[in-house]
Amino acid sequence: MIKHHYEYLIHWCISPTLFVSSSYKKRAPTPRERGKRVRILNITYFTVACILFIGIIILYMTHTITHINTLLIGFYILWSLSRVNEIFMAFLKDVFDKLNPRKRKKNGLQYYERIALALRSFIELILHYAMLYYLLDTCFVRYGLWNGLFNQPLRDPLTALYFSLITIVSIGYGDYYPIHPISKLLVMYEIINGLLLLAVSFTVYVGLDLDEKEAS
């Protein structure tokens, strides 16, 4: 009982959305229903990320991004951090579960469905990191905490999206790079997230799917 309380506390502190998602999935009466809830959560969070990013673009285009309330920026940052932490922990746990034959059918999801979930989460990661880069860089410049988190300002949300994309796929042209410890940590975390989804999740899901088809 004490262990479960500590787990809930850790989930809530690191990722409130993970706490909510886990509670929602655990109440599913059957594996099929659990799989359905996983799909609903994945699509819902992906849609929210798209709406939030479009909102930032609108704020930028209407020249109100530098005047928005600090609480709103804080919400954006905390939500994005919560989601990137949730995606990292959820897929890391799922990969290890899939390597255990006794846990492979727990969610009632086919492997092609898991790949679709991973792909949406991958795109969502790009959006959330873009929002983190852009808003944190904007805040640091606004409040004079630093000249910026990068070697040159991320002038608009699309530039932040571009930087997030080339970071997660480990291209890195060198036109933008982090110069502050916070941005360096975020960049490293995004690369780890990207490797987990691309090199681990997709490989495990596809490999296990092919193994099961050959066995049948």
What integer pLDDT is reported at residue 172 of this predicted model? 78
Characterise 30 by phi-psi region: left (phi > 0), alpha (psi -120 to 50), beta (else): beta
- Confidence tier at 214 by pLDDT (50, 70, 90): very low
Q: Where are the alpha helices (DSSP H) in 99-175?
A: 111-142, 157-168
pLDDT of 80-101, one tens digit each?
A: 999 999 999 888 887 777 677 6
Helix, strand, coil abundance in the chain, percent, nearest 5: 80, 0, 20
CB 116 within 8 A of CB 46: no
Domain boundaries, the chain: 2-215
Q: What is the model's pTM? A: 0.88
Mean pLDDT of 178-192: 94
pLDDT of 98-145, one tens digit each?
A: 677 666 555 667 777 888 888 999 999 999 999 999 999 888 777 667
Bridge partners of 150, per DSSP, are: 178
Mean pLDDT of 18-40: 88
Average pLDDT along the chain: 84
Long-range Cβ contact pairs of 135-139 (< 8 A, separation 24 or more): 135/56, 135/73, 135/76, 135/77, 136/77, 136/182, 136/183, 136/186, 137/183, 138/65, 138/66, 138/73, 139/70, 139/73
What integer pLDDT is reported at residue 125 of this predicted model? 97
